[in-house]
C-alpha cells in the first residue's frame, strides 16, 4: 500500500516539476551509455586479449585520481570554447541578419560566403598560428572561425523566414529601419540562432580538439585536447579526458538551453488550440 502511495507522490512530483523528469532522463541516458561502454570494453578485451578500450570504472577511477589536473584542463577548454562561441555569435548573428534581411547586401555577400563556407577551416590552421601566435588566441580563433559560418548561415536563413505581416505591422506603426531590427528581426530569429548555437557545441568541440592538439611545440597549449593527446597511449587516462569533454559539451548544451528558455519565454508558453 505505502509503495503505491509513494509511486503516486513521485508521479505528482514529475508532473509539477518537469525538469526533475528531464534530469532523470539524462541520468538514465548516462547509465545506459556507461553500460554499453562497459559491454564494448569487455568484448574488445575478449576478442583482442587486451583491454584496449578501458572499462568505464577504471576511467572514472582515473578521473578521481587526476581530479585537480583534469579540472584545470577542463576549465581551460571550457573558457576557450565559451569565448569562441560568443565571438562567433556576436560576429555571425548581426551579419547574418543583415544579409538575410537586406536583399542587395545578400546578393553581394552571399556568393562569397558560399565559396568560403565549404573550405574546412582546418586548412587555414597554419596561417592562424602564424597570425595569432601560440597560446589561447589562436585556439579561440580556430573554433570561432568554424562556428562563425555556422551561425552566419543559420542567421541568414532565419532572417529570410520572417513573416512579412510582422514587419508590415511595425512599419505601419511608423517604425524606423533600426526599430524593425530591434522589434521584429532580432526577436523573431533568436530562438533558431540559439538552437544553432547549441547544435554547434559539437562542432566547436571537434575544432577545439584539433586546435588543442595541433602545435605540439606550443608549451602553453593545455586544455582537455592536449590532455587526451598526451595520455593517448595510457587508455584509462585518455578516457578520463574524453569523459571530461563529454561533460563539458553537456554542460554547455544545458547552459544554452536554459538561456533560450529565459530569452525566448514566448516560445515555451502553453499554446491555446485554435
264 binds another protein (CB under 8 A): yes
* Nearest C-alpha neighbor of 245 from the set 215, 216, 225, 220: 225
Q: Among 94, 135, 137, 187, which residue interacts with another protein (rule: CB under 8 A)?
A: 187
Q: How many residues does the chain have?
A: 274
Residue 168 binding another protein, by CB under 8 A: yes
Note whether 266 binds another protein by CB under 8 A.
yes
Q: What is the rounded CA–CA span in Å between residue 132 and residue 149?
A: 20
| Interface of this chain with another protein, residues 73 to 92, rule: CB under 8 A | none
Name the residue nearer to another protein (CB basis): 158 or 224: 158
Q: Is 179 in the site for another protein (CB under 8 A)?
A: yes
For 49-162, where are the alpha helices, taking DSSP H only? 56-65, 67-101, 103-116, 125-132, 136-160
Which positions from 146 through 165 interact with another protein, judged by CB under 8 A? 165
Contact between 58 and another protein by CB under 8 A: the answer reads: no
Between residues 118 and 273, which has the closer beta carbon with respect to another protein?
273
CA distance 225 to 81: 12
Give the separation between CA 104 and CA 112, rounded to whole angstroms: 14
Query: Which is closer to another protein, CB of 50 or CB of 265?
Result: 265
DSSP for 230-245, written as a single string: HTTTSHHHHHHHHHHH
Q: Decide: 176 and 118 in contact? Cβ < 8 Å.
A: no
The rounded distance, in Å, linking the Cα atoms of 147 and 80 is 13
Shortest Å distance, C-beta 173 to another protein:
4
Identify which of residues 115 and 172 has a Cβ nearer to another protein in the complex: 172
Q: Output the smallest distance, CB 272 to another protein, in A.
A: 6
Instruction: Determine, following the binding rule CB under 8 A, whether residue 104 of this chain makes contact with another protein.
Output: no
Distance of CA 250 to the CA centre of its chain: 8
- Chain residues in the site for another protein (CB under 8 A): 165-166, 168-175, 179, 183-184, 187-188, 264-266, 269-272, 274
Amino acid at each position: 500500500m505505502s509503495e503505491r502511495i509513494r509511486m503516486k507522490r513521485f508521479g505528482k512530483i514529475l508532473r509539477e516539476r518537469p525538469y526533475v523528469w528531464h534530469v532523470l532522463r539524462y541520468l538514465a541516458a548516462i547509465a545506459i551509455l556507461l553500460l554499453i561502454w562497459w559491454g564494448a570494453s569487455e568484448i574488445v578485451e575478449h576478442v583482442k586479449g587486451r583491454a584496449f578500450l578501458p572499462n568505464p570504472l577504471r576511467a572514472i577511477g582515473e578521473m578521481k585520481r587526476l581530479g585537480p589536473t583534469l579540472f584545470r584542463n577542463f576549465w581551460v577548454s571550457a573558457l576557450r570554447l565559451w569565448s569562441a562561441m560568443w565571438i562567433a555569435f556576436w560576429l555571425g548573428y548581426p551579419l547574418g541578419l543583415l544579409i538575410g534581411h537586406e536583399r542587395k547586401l545578400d546578393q553581394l555577400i552571399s556568393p562569397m560566403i558560399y565559396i568560403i563556407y565549404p573550405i574546412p577551416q582546418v586548412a587555414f590552421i597554419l596561417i592562424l598560428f602564424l597570425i595569432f601566435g601560440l597560446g589561447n588566441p589562436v585556439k579561440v580563433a580556430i573554433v570561432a572561425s568554424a562556428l562563425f559560418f555556422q551561425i552566419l548561415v543559420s542567421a541568414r536563413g532565419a532572417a529570410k523566414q520572417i513573416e512579412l505581416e510582422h514587419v508590415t505591422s511595425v512599419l505601419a506603426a511608423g517604425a524606423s529601419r533600426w526599430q524593425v531590427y530591434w522589434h521584429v528581426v532580432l526577436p523573431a530569429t533568436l530562438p533558431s540562432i540559439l538552437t544553432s548555437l547549441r547544435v554547434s557545441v559539437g562542432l566547436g568541440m571537434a575544432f577545439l580538439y584539433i586546435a588543442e592538439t595541433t602545435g605540439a611545440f606550443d608549451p602553453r597549449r593545455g586544455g582537455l585536447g592536449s590532455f587526451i593527446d598526451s595520455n593517448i597511449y595510457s587508455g584509462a587516462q585518455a578516457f578520463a579526458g574524453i569523459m571530461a569533454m563529454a561533460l563539458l559539451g553537456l554542460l554547455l548544451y544545458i547552459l544554452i538551453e536554459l538561456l533560450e528558455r529565459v530569452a525566448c519565454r514566448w516560445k515555451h508558453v502553453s499554446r491555446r488550440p485554435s
